[in-house]
C-alpha cells in the first residue's frame, strides 16, 4: 500500500511540475488561455493568440520563440499540439491539467491579491464580474 501511495504521489508531483513549467512563460500562458477560450476542437492561429494584449511582443521574434522553445515544450508535455503550416496550435491530450489552473484563477479572481490582478485584463474583468454579482 505504501508503494502505491508513493508512486501516486511521485506521479502527481511530476504532473504539477509539468503544469508550472508550462505556465512559467507569458507566451505559453497566453496560448493556454486562448485555447481555453476557443471551442474544444478548434486550432488557434499563431503567433497572434500567444501575444499578451497588454504587452504586445514583436510577432517575428515571438514566432521564432514559439517554434523553437515554447511549442516543443508544450507539445512534449502533452498540453498542446501544433503545426507549422498553417502555424496553429490546438489542445493536447493533457490540456485539461494546465487549463484547470486558469479556470481556478478566473473563478476566484476577487480573492487574488490585487498585485496579481491589476494589469491583466482577463482577471480584472473576472474580478469586476464577481464583485458585481456579490453586490
What does the pLDDT look like over 55-92, one tens digit per residue? Answer: 878 889 999 999 999 999 999 999 999 999 999 999 99
Fold of 2-134: Arc Repressor Mutant, subunit A (1.10.10)
Report the alpha-carbon distance of residue 111 to residue 109 in Å, rounded.
5
Total-model pTM: 0.86
pLDDT, residue 133, reads 79
Which residue would you say has higher pLDDT here, 9 or 45?
45
CA distances from 21 to 14, 28, 70, 73, 111 (A): 10, 10, 11, 9, 24
Given a cut of 70, whether residue 6 has pLDDT beyond it is no
Q: Which of 51, 122, 44 is nearest to 90 (CA)?
A: 44
CB 35 within 8 A of CB 90: yes
Given a cut of 60, whether residue 1 has pLDDT beyond it is no
Amino acid at each position: 500500500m505504501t508503494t502505491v501511495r508513493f508512486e501516486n504521489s511521485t506521479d502527481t508531483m511530476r504532473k504539477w511540475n509539468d503544469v508550472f513549467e508550462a505556465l512559467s512563460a507569458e507566451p505559453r500562458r497566453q496560448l493556454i488561455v486562448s485555447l481555453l477560450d476557443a471551442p474544444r476542437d478548434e486550432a488557434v492561429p499563431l503567433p497572434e493568440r500567444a501575444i499578451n494584449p497588454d504587452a504586445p511582443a514583436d510577432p517575428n521574434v515571438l514566432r521564432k520563440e514559439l517554434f523553437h522553445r515554447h511549442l516543443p515544450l508544450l507539445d512534449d508535455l502533452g498540453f498542446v499540439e501544433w503545426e507549422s503550416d498553417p502555424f496553429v496550435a490546438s489542445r493536447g491530450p493533457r490540456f485539461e491539467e494546465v487549463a484547470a489552473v486558469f479556470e481556478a484563477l478566473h473563478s476566484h479572481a476577487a480573492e487574488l491579491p490585487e498585485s496579481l490582478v491589476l494589469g491583466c485584463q482577463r482577471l480584472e474583468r473576472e474580478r469586476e464580474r464577481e464583485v458585481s454579482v456579490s453586490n
